[in-house]
Homo-oligomer: A and B are copies of this chain.
Amino acid sequence: MQTCLDCIPCFFNQTLSAGRMMGLPDHEIKRLLDAVGKGLEQVSLESTPPEMARLLQRIINQKTGSQDPYKELKHQSNVIALGYAPKMQQLVVSSEDQLLTAIEVAIAGNIIDYGAIHDLDVDAELQQLMNTERMQLEREDSANFAYQAFSEDLKQAKTLLYIGDNAGEIVFDKILLTVIRSMYPDLRITFAVRGKPILNDVLLEDAQEAGLTEMVQVISSGSDAPGCVLDYCDESFLEVFRSSDMIISKGQGNFEALSDEDAPIYYLLIAKCAAVARELSCSVRDIILKRKQR
């Protein structure tokens, strides 16, 4: 997916959020915004939003001298999500269709995003999202929620690559992977984290904190963009990517990076902005489980 003009004001919003999360005073945040403003010219509309975000994050890192400004926030997100895990786990176990409910939980985890976490009523949000999705399902299986195809493909797959998104959210991904593992014990599951710190995206340490490393193989994609931009990925990751029978691409950043790739991908996300909603012909905040058209 290409960056569109509407992404540009959004990058300034993201810079502003980043500065506030780092606790910087206003005049320093202004300097960050100025630096991003100057760097805007280098950013091409041919690139994907994660490529742009990576460039801008480099500017922020240079200005602040911090390589991982979101480190503490990611840890907090993991702790908060781990607090919700038993409840979510229970919800899955007691449901009629455990796979479907676990998908719902994993998508709902996508709302635990850094910007919102402080004033978010997580309970209410989860409840609302899960109701929305049920409604969607009651309207039956659709192109943007291809649950039947997902179930079928999963049944056939021997190898599954799950490309992670954010810290916190990864705890909910683990619940989905636990269900998949219990249904298909022979399926070889690999979970990919980012190669370097970028925004609140998952790193190996988050996979450890979520307890995922004890359960599946966790590898680094090598990408330091907030999305799995294949041009920035390691060869070893690309081998797994190319050879997997099925790939789950989690979150909006991975969708933006991988939407044009020809691979057996399911995109699992909440559409968080108008540009992505337009790309998917859906509404903002719609819940998506979309199979890559081949």
Contact residues of A with B, CB < 8 Å? 5-6, 8-10, 12-13, 16, 19, 26-27, 29-30, 33-34, 36-41, 45
What 12 additional pairs, Cβ within 8 angstroms, besides A5-B26, A12-B12, A36-B37? A5-B16, A5-B30, A8-B12, A8-B16, A8-B30, A9-B10, A9-B12, A33-B40, A37-B37, A37-B40, A38-B40, A38-B41
Q: Which residues of B contact A9 (CB under 8 A)?
A: 9-10, 12-13, 16
Determine whether the beta carbon of A33 is less than 8 Å from that of B13: no
Cβ 8 A contact of A45, one of B8, B10, B12, B26? B26
Please, how many angstroms separate the alpha-carbon atoms of A59 and B39 in the complex?
Answer: 17
Determine whether the beta carbon of B26 is less than 8 Å from that of A37: no
Q: Which residues of B contact A19 (CB under 8 A)?
A: 5
Determine whether the beta carbon of B34 is less than 8 Å from that of A41: yes
Q: Which residues of B contact A6 (CB under 8 A)?
A: 16
Q: Which residues of B contact A10 (CB under 8 A)?
A: 9
Q: Which residue of chain B lies nearest to A33 when distances are taken between CB atoms in the complex?
A: B8
A-B contact pairs, 30 of them (CB 8 A): A5-B19, A5-B26, A5-B29, A5-B30, A5-B33, A6-B16, A8-B12, A8-B16, A8-B30, A8-B33, A9-B9, A9-B10, A9-B12, A9-B13, A9-B16, A12-B12, A26-B45, A27-B45, A30-B45, A33-B40, A34-B40, A34-B41, A36-B37, A37-B37, A37-B38, A37-B39, A37-B40, A37-B41, A38-B40, A38-B41
Q: Which residue of chain B lies nearest to A20 when distances are taken between CB atoms in the complex?
A: B5
Please, how many angstroms separate the alpha-carbon atoms of A36 and B34 in the complex?
Answer: 10
Please give me the 8 A-B residue pairs with the lowest Cβ-Cβ distance, nearest first.
Answer: A37-B37, A37-B40, A9-B12, A34-B41, A9-B13, A9-B9, A34-B40, A8-B33
CB distance from A135 to the nearest CB of B (A): 26
Q: Which residues of B contact A45 (CB under 8 A)?
A: 26-27, 30
Please, how many angstroms separate the alpha-carbon atoms of A135 and B8 in the complex?
Answer: 38
Please, how many angstroms separate the alpha-carbon atoms of A8 and B27 in the complex?
Answer: 13
Q: Which residues of B contact A26 (CB under 8 A)?
A: 5, 45
Q: Which residues of B contact A39 (CB under 8 A)?
A: 37
Please, how many angstroms separate the alpha-carbon atoms of A30 and B6 in the complex?
Answer: 10
CB distance from A64 to the nearest CB of B (A): 16
Q: Which residue of chain B lies nearest to A31 when distances are taken between CB atoms in the complex?
A: B41
Q: Which residues of B contact A27 (CB under 8 A)?
A: 45
Please, how many angstroms separate the alpha-carbon atoms of A30 and B30 in the complex?
Answer: 22
CB distance from A8 to the nearest CB of B (A): 5
Taking each of A6, A16, A33, A39, which has the highest tally of chain B beta carbons within 10 Å of its own beta carbon?
A: A33
Q: Which residues of B contact A38 (CB under 8 A)?
A: 37-38, 40-41
Please, how many angstroms separate the alpha-carbon atoms of A30 and B5 in the complex?
Answer: 7
